Amino acid sequence: MNTKGIALKPEFEKAILDLGFSEFTEIQEKCIPIIQQGRDVIGLSFTGSGKTAAFGFPALEKVVPGKGLQLLVVVPTRELCNQVAKEFKKFTKYRKTYIVEIYGGVSIDPQFMHLRHADVVVGTPGRLLDHLSRGTINIGAIKILVLDEADKMFEMGFIDDIRKIISRVPRNCQKLFFGATMPQEIMYIAKNYMNNPEKVRMQEYVDKSKLVQHYYDVDRNDKFSLLAHVIKNESKGLTIVFCATRHIVDVIDRNLNAQGIRSQALHGGMTQARRNEVMEAFHNGKLDVLVASDVAARGLDIKNVNLIINYDLPKTSQDYVHRIGRTARAGKEGRVVSLLSREDHLNFRRVLEDRSLLIHKMRTPHFERLGFIRSQHQGRPFRGRFPRKRRW
């Protein structure tokens, strides 16, 4: 592979070759040497840029297996926790390292045993604080602390949890903060706890020359019918539909399945096992459409997405950019379609505050008006029309 002058320890270079890396990405090329030097880093990068490897390889190099907990990675969601831990296990294929996932929504008891042997912990803030209060995790001797998706943790209200965690780690441990943006509150923490951090800003990862962005104006009552029309007639591959709430995610998924579209919901109200099952199916091509909330999809690196549909508009331009960052990658073309009813126009004006976004209005196509089941109760008389959910 093209190493761009970056040297890793032999066992990690061997793992990189097994993973099929052809060259380091921009964020990896910039961050790995700095982290290897022991510098603190603030990295600005979007999902899919390769940031897990950017901090993972140089941090894991410094971990000595069997010498206790040395690396702590804090993430906002269970999905990202699972994803980072899974990647770390691939990175350490030739240096057996005990990597433990710590998150809520599952029994805490098995985590007690695993933590006794942990070299690396990847965890969510709430469950980490739970273990700290119980005395079942000791982060007083870690070498490296990573905050991944730090901006999202702030948005989700974890800022006080982050302060509590970072106050318990050694003052001189290496600290690495990554996110799409860095809110003032996170920068305040960085100023107080980091040691002269190196700021690394990645150039835009989405290729806007290959990204078509447009929107349709549509009456609220016709929104789902237009959504189904777009998926059936304009999607040529994997599609992600973003909705504002868990309830809307479930309702849209239920109605898409009623139209014979292979979709599944993904949101924070689902069990972890079910969420893992859905993501595995989507990655393996057993689904065509993922209907998701922003929180559930945050940090998920989903490749080969052809179409992003905003059923509900996000509240900020940053969230919009984060959503569209899942398509038009690595030289491939991608499309973003936003469905605007009257309720979406305030959020749409906020999105357009980013002058770099070129979102074109399109003439609304003719489409068939479909029945729409608004609730589980309403759907009961039509139960026979729903295809049975697949078990994978």
382 band by pLDDT with thresholds 50, 70 and 90: very low
CA distance 355 to 349: 11
- Delineate the domains of the chain, giving CATH numbers in brackets: 10-201 (3.40.50.300), 208-385 (3.40.50.300)
For the segment 5-21, the average pLDDT, to the nearest whole number, is: 88
Which residue has better confidence, 80 or 236?
80
Other CB atoms within a 10 A radius of the CB of residue 289 amount to 24
- Whole-model pTM: value is 0.65
CA distance 227 to 307: 12
Residues 6+ apart with CB under 8 A from 275: 78, 79, 266, 296
Q: What six digits make up the tokens of 187?
A: 């920068």
Angle among Cα 13, 172, 90 to the nearest 5 degrees reads 25
Residues 6+ apart with CB under 8 A from 104: 78, 124, 126, 127, 130
Q: Which pLDDT value is given to residue 320?
A: 83
In tens, the pLDDT along 254-312 reads: 999 999 999 999 887 887 778 778 888 887 888 889 998 876 666 566 667 888 999 99
In tens, the pLDDT along 315-354 reads: 888 778 777 766 644 445 678 999 999 999 999 998 888 8
In tens, the pLDDT along 210-254 reads: 678 899 999 999 999 999 999 999 887 789 999 989 999 999 999
CA distance 80 to 124: 9
